[in-house]
């Protein structure tokens, strides 16, 4: 697919542009993009491919979903675009390459593209060649995507965990997961902060499931076992015990303060000093506690 640098920018109706490979947008980043375009204008036109239909001309978006949606948010009816000739498969590849090159891209977006290419008949080797990703990476994330391992996918894309270790965790039970983490530590693949992050991700995956809420289809809730209920009860009991210990410690401190204040106000010289400095007024409630010698 060749895209000539001499292509002229055309103005196309936004209503005729279809987003064939949509992505979820970060609301804060999208708002910043809208404000930037409103203030400075469009720095780079979107890229589309033209197709003829019975109803007329349509355009499939290749690159620039954020820019397109920003123009729509601003109420525009047209947008500058480069119109190229490309097949559906070429558009998918170009979209994927742009996604890989994006400075801060999300794993779910990237794997959505890879999954789309696999559905269109591309092999792992072909995807790796076209995207510049390693074959191991493509195979690994493909398996994670097929199993709905969104938490592990995010960890892989963020660089917290190697894809090979993520696949091991996805295929293992609790004991196997601990063994996988141990092997990763021994091989120097997970150390220090990364190891702690992955342990938290594994625990979150165990308690909340593989999927991230709101980012994919809902999975069936895991059945509660007696062991799960016992663990939840123990954790809740431990929290309440800690709260009681803190409350007792606070009460003891208040008792000490009330007793000390009562002793000090029993000293006439101390009271005279407070009167001389005009500091002898005491709130009624505090005075009542001092007289009773308690904090109840």
Q: One digit per residue, pLDDT tens: the chain, 296 residues?
A: 444 445 677 899 999 998 876 776 667 778 888 887 887 677 788 988 888 777 778 888 888 888 999 999 999 999 999 888 876 666 666 666 665 555 444 445 555 667 667 777 788 888 777 666 678 878 887 888 888 888 888 888 777 888 888 888 988 888 889 998 988 888 888 888 888 899 988 888 888 888 776 544 343 334 445 666 666 667 777 777 888 888 888 888 878 877 887 888 888 888 888 888 887 777 776 677 666 655 55
**The overall pTM is greater than 0.85:** no
- Residue 151 burial (CB < 10 Å; 0-12/13-18/19+)? buried
Q: Are 27 and 71 in contact (CB under 8 A)?
A: no
Q: Are 106 and 156 in contact (CB under 8 A)?
A: no
pLDDT of residue 3: 46
Query: Please, which residues have CB within 8 angstroms of residue 125's CB and are 6 or more apart in sequence?
Result: 135
Give phi and psi for 106, each to the nearest 5.
-100, 145
> Could you count the other beta carbons within 10 Å of the beta carbon of residue 259?
13
């Amino acid at each position: 697919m060749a895209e000539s640098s001499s292509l002229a920018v055309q103005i196309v109706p936004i209503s005729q542009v279809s987003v064939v490979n949509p992505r979820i947008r970060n609301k804060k980043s999208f708002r910043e993009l809208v404000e930037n375009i409103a203030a400075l204008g469009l720095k780079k036109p979107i890229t589309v491919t033209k197709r003829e239909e019975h109803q007329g001309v349509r355009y499939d978006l290749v690159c620039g979903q954020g820019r397109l949606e920003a123009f729509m948010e601003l109420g525009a009816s047209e947008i500058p675009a480069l119109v190229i000739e490309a097949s559906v498969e070429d558009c998918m590849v170009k979209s994927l390459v742009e996604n890989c090159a994006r400075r801060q891209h999300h794993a779910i977006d990237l794997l959505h593209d890879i999954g789309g290419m696999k559905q269109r008949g591309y092999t792992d080797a072909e995807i790796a060649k076209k995207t510049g990703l390693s074959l191991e990476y493509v195979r690994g994330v493909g398996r994670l995507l097929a199993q709905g391992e969104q938490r592990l996918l995010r960890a892989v894309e963020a660089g917290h965990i190697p894809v090979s270790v993520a696949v091991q965790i996805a295929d293992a039970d609790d004991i196997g997961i601990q063994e996988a983490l141990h092997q990763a530590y021994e091989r120097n693949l997970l150390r220090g902060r990364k190891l702690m992050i992955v342990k938290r991700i594994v625990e979150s995956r165990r308690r909340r499931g593989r999927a991230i809420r709101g980012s994919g289809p809902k999975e069936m809730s895991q059945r509660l076992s007696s062991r799960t209920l016992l663990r939840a009860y123990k954790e809740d009991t431990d929290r309440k015990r800690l709260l009681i210990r803190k409350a007792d410690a606070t009460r003891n401190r208040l008792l000490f303060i009330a007793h000390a204040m009562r002793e000090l106000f029993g000293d006439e010289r101390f009271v005279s000093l407070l009167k001389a400095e005009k500091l002898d007024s005491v709130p009624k409630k505090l005075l009542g506690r001092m007289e009773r010698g308690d904090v109840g």
